[in-house]
């Protein structure tokens, strides 16, 4: 009986071995943060340009000085947008470009949302503001492949 158990265990262990290859899928682009303020005079966006090589690149301290891995430049850029409405009026924020979005914003308060934005120029406007703002999204997509504790 013990030899039967040993044979079954050996067969199971050998069946787990094999020469299979699995291509690693590239990690998605690291989400970038954008701050939008909505006031009576204007809508402001900071930074105004994202996903451009050499500008506003996230690099965790353990990777300081290391090259930043790149993701697929044709994939949309993940963007976390935080909106601060500086007026007491409840309103809407319009994001217009290759992708259009309409977001409800609270009066005197923050709102946040995420968006997958393809490369292009986006206009942000609100009916309570006199001037619009532009956000440019480049083709650079930083990957989290070399960063620890990121998806």
The 10s digit of each residue's pLDDT in 54-75 is 655 554 555 566 566 666 778 8
CB atoms within 10 A of CB 121: 12
Query: What per-residue confidence (pLDDT) applies to 72?
Result: 75
Whether residue 125 contacts residue 135, with contact meaning beta carbons closer than 8 Å, is answered with: no
**How confident is the prediction for the chain on average, in pLDDT?**
82
Residue 90's pLDDT band (cuts 50, 70, 90):
very high
Domain ranges of the chain: 27-137
Does 125 score more than 60 pLDDT?
yes
CA distance 42 to 21: 54
**What is the pLDDT at residue 30?**
77
CB atoms inside a 10 Å sphere around CB 120: 12
CB 134 within 8 A of CB 74: no
Percentage of the chain lying above the pLDDT 90 cut: 53
Q: Which helix (H) or strand (E) holds 111?
A: strand 110-117
User: Contact, 135 vs 121, CB < 8 A?
Assistant: yes
Q: Is the dihedral of CA 32, 77, 121, 129 positive or negative?
A: negative
For residue 32, is pLDDT > 60?
Answer: yes
How many whole angstroms separate alpha carbon 100 and alpha carbon 143?
25
Q: What is the average per-residue pLDDT within 3-18?
A: 64
The single-letter DSSP state of residue 149 is T
Give residue 11's pLDDT.
64
Q: Are strands 120-125 and 77-85 parallel, antiparallel or unpaired?
A: unpaired
On whether the CB atoms of residues 22 and 71 are closer than 8 A, the answer is no
The CATH class, in words, for 27-137 is mainly beta
Question: How far is 51 from 78, CA to CA, in rounded Å?
Answer: 10
Write down the pTM of the prediction: 0.74
């Amino acid at each position: 009986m013990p030899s039967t158990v040993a044979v079954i265990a050996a067969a199971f262990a050998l069946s787990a071995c094999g020469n299979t290859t699995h291509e690693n899928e590239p990690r998605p682009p690291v989400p970038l943060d954008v701050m939008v303020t909505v006031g009576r005079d204007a809508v402001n966006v900071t930074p105004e340009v994202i996903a451009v090589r050499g500008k506003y690149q996230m690099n965790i301290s353990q990777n300081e000085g290391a090259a930043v891995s790149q993701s697929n430049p044709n994939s949309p850029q993940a963007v976390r947008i935080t909106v601060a409405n500086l007026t007491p009026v409840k309103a809407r924020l319009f994001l217009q470009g290759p992708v259009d979005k309409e977001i409800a914003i609270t009066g005197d308060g923050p709102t946040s949302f995420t968006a997958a934005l393809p490369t292009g120029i986006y206009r942000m406007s609100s009916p309570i503001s006199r001037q619009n703002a532009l956000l440019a999204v480049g083709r650079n997509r930083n990957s989290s492949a070399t960063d620890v504790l990121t998806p």
